[in-house]
Amino acid sequence: MLKRLLSNDFPRSRVLAVLLVALLLALAFAPFIFPGVKALNVAAKVLIFTVLVASFDLLLGYTGIVSFAHTMFFGIGAYGIAIATTRMGPTWPALAVGLGGALALSFVLALLVGLFSLRVKAIFFAMITLAVASAFLTLASQLSAFTGGEDGLTFKLPELLSPSFEFMEEPFLGVSVDGRLLSYYLLFAVAVVLVLALLRIVNSPFGRVLQAIRENEFRAEAIGYRVVVYRTTSSVLSALFATLAGAMLALWLRYNGPDTSLSFEVMIDVLLIVVIGGMGTIYGALVGAALFLVAQSYLQDLLKLGSEAAASSLPWLSTLLSPDRWLLWLGILFVLSIYYFPAGVVGRLRAMGHGVAKAGIRT
């Protein structure tokens, strides 16, 4: 059963397997293990970005396509939910219409971008996708009648997903069983299903062709594979998964704006997470998202504690550890992670596991 679920793509490292199980359990029981609004928001963002980064890795890590338009599809998913619920009200049909419309628009745009752009060289395709994403960001900011402009859209969800809807009068294990908790576990279930679906895709014959194209495009074409068709299909699938991740973000935040889902900062975060976790490994999306978002959310708190502890004895260290310099320290941590984990955390752990296995065979 486990073999089928993981599409025969096992961690191949005991340390990685333990890490993945620990992260999965932490996310599954996050509302009870890590009480508080901030901790739950971080856990929800880890789920959302795991899907988003895994969908981007299908492009970059498995097909070798560099695209800067990925956040455009992420934003389309979020805006689809936001616009539909704003126009039709907080109903389940509105959510269905918003999600369906967003998926249809993403499909058409990804197909057009793929067909018109994937025939050019990699750097030119990257520039084209950057231009398309920038144009869409400007469009979303200008069409205030539909998107709310720079202010974005705040909307309501069906009552079942509302924080005010309580399933139990008394808290369970100190946690209120309400619509907010249901929303979190809805995200958790959707994230698990989508990641398993991506594992199935990359480990299918289709996924192996994508990897062959990544390694040597001309050789793959020479043996009979239509490279443009496979690359376009990969782009469309990646866009659809990113759209679903955007819908997850909108469901959780109950708000969406240009800076929330379409900004280039989100694209940079996705690139950083892919590199930290490991390209060409769907598992790297979970590991990278957890490490990056936890560091991003709690690094300021840790620096504040260090700064206060060193204030009396080492004033220069207190200044260096100022919470205002958290981006500097985040950059240092990223550089160190690249230096010690050039293939990403998952790639390094798998290499270590492979080395241990070979040593065991020799002995």
Task: Read off the DSSP letter of residue 343.
Answer: T
Residues 6+ apart with CB under 8 A from 187: 44, 47, 48, 248, 251, 252
pTM of the model: 0.92
Radius of gyration of the chain (CA): 22
Would you state the pLDDT for residue 353? 63
pLDDT digits (tens, 9 = 90+) for 3-23: 777 777 788 888 899 999 999
Which tokens go with 144? 């205030």
DSSP string of 116-152, one letter each residue:
HHTTS-HHHHHHHHHHHHHHHHHHHHH-HHHH-GGG-
Residues 6+ apart with CB under 8 A from 239: 55, 70, 73, 106, 107, 109, 110
From 46, 305, 362, 304, select the one nearest 191 (Cα to Cα).
46
Report how far residue 173's alpha carbon sits from residue 272's, in angstroms, rounded to the nearest whole number.
Answer: 36
Please give the average pLDDT of every successive group of 10 residues along the chain, which has 363 residues. Answer: 74 88 93 86 95 94 87 94 92 93 94 75 78 89 86 88 77 77 93 94 91 85 84 92 95 91 89 90 92 87 77 72 77 81 84 58 48
Would you state the pLDDT for residue 125? 79
Q: Is 175 helix (H, G, I), strand (E, B) or coil?
A: strand
Q: Residues 351, 356, 362, 363: what is their CA dihedral angle, to the nearest 10 degrees? A: 170
Domains of the chain: 2-362 (1.10.3470)
Report how far residue 345's alpha carbon sits from residue 339's, in angstroms, rounded to the nearest whole number.
Answer: 11
Residue with tokens 């889902």: 261
